């Protein structure tokens, strides 16, 4: 391969380049699926922030919601089940000039991928993780998920779930996430604020979204959430107060909070990784030409 005139992916001028929009692929979700609201919110967020489409990578795992990258005009990586986060981390560390958004479902993120979810938060990697939490496995035709309600009957739990559901919000707080929010795909405008602010946030931004499955979850429906959700922004919640965030995260029942639970400024992993202070790894020199003194340590 010879040197070429191709553009290395560094900080290209941001004006006049296309912003993320819809791709030529139409979503394949069931009519009425909550995920339509989420893809709309992600698209609106990127438009609001005016991030050119070539500087955005949307990464996902496997599940209905993980098809999302195909529906937008950015770069994308539709990976394997449960591994969206380490893939997204690697992309960030390869080129931290990119805006990286990981997306997926509750099974992908809190079941098979739970280990990665926790560690990405303690690392405070600067990426945004949007989960479409429908409390059920949809693509595999309706089994219980880590966030399914106790007693919920599914194909894998015909007599009802006998495990306590995992709470993504309190898990994120415990894991050290620096931006923890919950949205509802029935309120795209509010969700767009949460996602856009998450993308703008430096560090790991987590947005768990109630994104109802209209086919396999007859409990946690749009109506279920419409009747229960209230906005933390209208309830006097201070998102810089972690104790208050903990208390709000425990609320479940007739009143369920959505909005920004917690936000704090902390150096990101990329800030602390000294090698990256010299710029995106992808633009740094590579190889050992002229470094012959390196061999002296072996003498």
Partner 1 sequence: MTEITVRIGGQAGDGIASIGEAVARSFSRMGLHLFGLNAYQSVIRGGHVWFQARASDGRPYSPGDGSDILYALDRATVDIHSAGIRPGGTIVFDPEKFPLTASDVPAGVRALPVPTLEIARKYTSQSILQNAGGIGATAFLAGIPLDMLHGVLTDAYGRKAGDVVDWNLGASADGYTFAEKQSSPHAHALSKRGSPKLLMTGNQAIALGAAAAGCKFLAQYPMTPASTVMHWMAAHSHSLGIVVKQAEDELAAIHMAIGASFAGVRSMTATSGGGFALMTEGLGMAGMTETPLVVVEAQRAGPSTGLPTKTEQGDLNLMLGAGQGEFPRAILAPSNPAEAYRATVTAFDLAERWQTPILLASDFHLSESLMTVDRDEIDLNVPVPSLFTVVPNGHDYRRFQYTESGVSPRAFPGQPGLNFIAGSDEHDERGHLVSDIHAGIPLWISERRRMMEKRMKKLHGLAKDSPGPVFEGPADAPLTFVAWGSTVGAVRDAVALLREKGKSTNLLHFPTVYPLDPEVIRAAFSRTRQTLLVEANYSGQFGHLLRGEAGIELPDRLLKYDGEPFFPHEIVARALEVVI
Q: Which residue in the set 34, 86, 105, 146 belongs to the binding site for partner 1 (CB under 8 A)?
A: 86
Is 141 a residue that touches partner 1 (CB under 8 A)? no
Nearer to partner 1, 113 or 239 (CB): 113
Q: Is 22 left (phi over 0), alpha (psi -120 to 50) or beta?
A: beta
What is the nearest approach in angstroms of partner 1 to the Cβ of residue 154?
Answer: 22
Q: Which residue in the set 36, 48, 49, 70 belongs to the binding site for partner 1 (CB under 8 A)?
A: 70
Is 256 a residue that touches partner 1 (CB under 8 A)? no
CA distance 290 to 299: 18
Q: Which residue in the set 36, 77, 222, 224 belongs to the binding site for partner 1 (CB under 8 A)?
A: 77
Residue 53 structure tokens? 């489409």
Q: Which residue in the set 19, 30, 47, 94 belongs to the binding site for partner 1 (CB under 8 A)?
A: 94
The residues in 49-68 that bind partner 1, with binding defined as CB under 8 A, are 52-57, 59, 62, 67
Nearer to partner 1, 184 or 204 (CB): 204
Q: Which residue in the set 33, 88, 101, 132 belongs to the binding site for partner 1 (CB under 8 A)?
A: 88
The residues in 161-190 that bind partner 1, with binding defined as CB under 8 A, are none
Nearer to partner 1, 40 or 282 (CB): 282
What is the bridge-based pairing of β-strands 99-105 and 128-133?
parallel
CA distance 21 to 237: 34
What is the nearest approach in angstroms of partner 1 to the Cβ of residue 67?
Answer: 7
Q: Which residue in the set 44, 75, 173, 268 belongs to the binding site for partner 1 (CB under 8 A)?
A: 75
Nearer to partner 1, 236 or 290 (CB): 290
Is 218 a residue that touches partner 1 (CB under 8 A)? no
Name the 3-class secondary structure at 58.
strand
Q: Which residue in the set 30, 40, 49, 80 belongs to the binding site for partner 1 (CB under 8 A)?
A: 80
Q: Where are the beta strands (DSSP E) in the chain?
A: 56-60, 75-78, 99-105, 128-133, 136-137, 143-144, 179-184, 205-210, 229-231, 256-263
The residues in 22-51 that bind partner 1, with binding defined as CB under 8 A, are 25, 28
Radius of gyration of the chain (CA): 20
DSSP code for 137: E
Task: Single out the segment in contact with partner 1 by CB under 8 A; choices: 33-41, 83-91, 129-137, 239-247.
Answer: 83-91
Give start and end residues of each alpha helix (H) in the chain: 35-49, 84-94, 106, 114-123, 168-175, 188-200, 222-228, 242-249, 269-272
Angle at 181 between CA 141 and CA 225, to 5 degrees: 50
């Amino acid at each position: 391969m010879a040197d070429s005139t191709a553009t290395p992916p560094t900080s290209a001028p941001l004006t006049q380049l296309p912003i993320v929009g819809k791709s030529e692929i139409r979503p394949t979700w069931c009519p009425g699926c909550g995920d339509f609201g989420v893809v709309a919110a992600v698209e609106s967020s990127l438009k609001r922030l005016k991030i050119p489409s070539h500087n955005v990578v949307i990464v996902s795992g496997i599940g209905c919601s993980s098809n999302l990258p195909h529906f937008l005009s950015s770069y994308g990586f539709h990976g394997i089940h449960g591994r969206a986060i380490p893939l997204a981390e690697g992309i960030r560390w390869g080129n931290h000039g990119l805006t990286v958004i990981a997306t997926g479902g509750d099974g992908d993120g809190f079941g098979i991928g739970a280990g990665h979810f926790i560690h990405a938060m303690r690392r405070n990697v600067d990426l945004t993780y949007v989960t479409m939490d429908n409390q059920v496995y949809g693509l595999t035709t309706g089994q219980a998920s880590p966030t399914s309600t106790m007693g919920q009957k599914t194909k894998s739990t015909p007599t009802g779930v006998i495990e306590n559901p995992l709470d993504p919000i309190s898990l994120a707080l415990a894991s050290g996430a620096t931006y923890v929010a919950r949205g509802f795909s029935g309120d795209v405008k509010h969700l767009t604020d949460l996602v856009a602010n998450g993308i703008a946030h430096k560090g790991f931004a987590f947005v768990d979204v109630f994104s109802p499955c209209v086919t396999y979850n007859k409990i946690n429906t749009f109506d279920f959430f419409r009747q229960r959700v209230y906005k933390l922004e209208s309830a006097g919640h201070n998102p810089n107060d972690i104790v208050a965030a903990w208390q709000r995260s425990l609320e479940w029942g007739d009143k369920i909070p959505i909005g920004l639970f917690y936000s704090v400024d902390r150096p990101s992993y990329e800030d602390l990784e000294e090698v990256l202070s010299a710029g995106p790894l992808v633009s740094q020199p590579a190889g050992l030409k002229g470094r012959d003194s390196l061999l002296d340590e072996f003498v």
